[in-house]
Amino acid sequence: MVIQPVRRAIQGLDASTPIIAIDTLADEVEASSSGERLTAVLGSLFAILALMLSAAGIYGLLGYSVAQRKHEVGIRAALGATPSDICELIGREGLVVVVGGVILGIFISRVASQLLTSLLYGVTPTDGSSNAAAALVMLAITTIAAAFPIRRASRIDLAGLLREDH
């Protein structure tokens, strides 16, 4: 290690010189960037949490919509709608919600860009590729979250639905 030879060289020049602390440049860089690293880790954790909450919300919204519209879906199926038609109907509803949310999110990020500027390194708050990547990730998560309610809607049991009392 480099510290012991430096300590001996200083003691060799003047033995009465007190050596309180010797750190390497790597240690100093590590200590000075710890705040930024903590901010980045916390930001990433909150982003993952927000992504999971939005996926759960979309799943819940579409699941509730399918449950509320099961009679409508059953009637559509009885009138000849194919499972893919039903999937398209429910999927379109989820897509409208997500596209609206993405547009609102981009608008809010543009408005709040002055607050974000000091936290970003190597990217601007209005960076198109970052916003596009966030929108694509949201669309992918939505597709995954919406797949289960859409699948459930396409498998509604018509005979059981007709036997239910209103």
pLDDT, tens digit (0-9, with 9 covering 90-100), for 64-84: 888 888 888 888 888 888 888
Which is higher by pLDDT, 126 or 140?
140
pLDDT at 136: 86
pTM listed for this prediction: 0.65
Determine the distance from the C-alpha atom of residue 15 to the mean position of all C-alpha atoms in its chain, rounded to a whole number: 58
Tokens of 23: 């750190």
Which is higher by pLDDT, 154 or 45?
45
pLDDT, tens digit (0-9, with 9 covering 90-100), for 86-108: 888 888 877 887 788 888 887 88
**Number of C-beta neighbours around residue 146 at 10 A:** 24
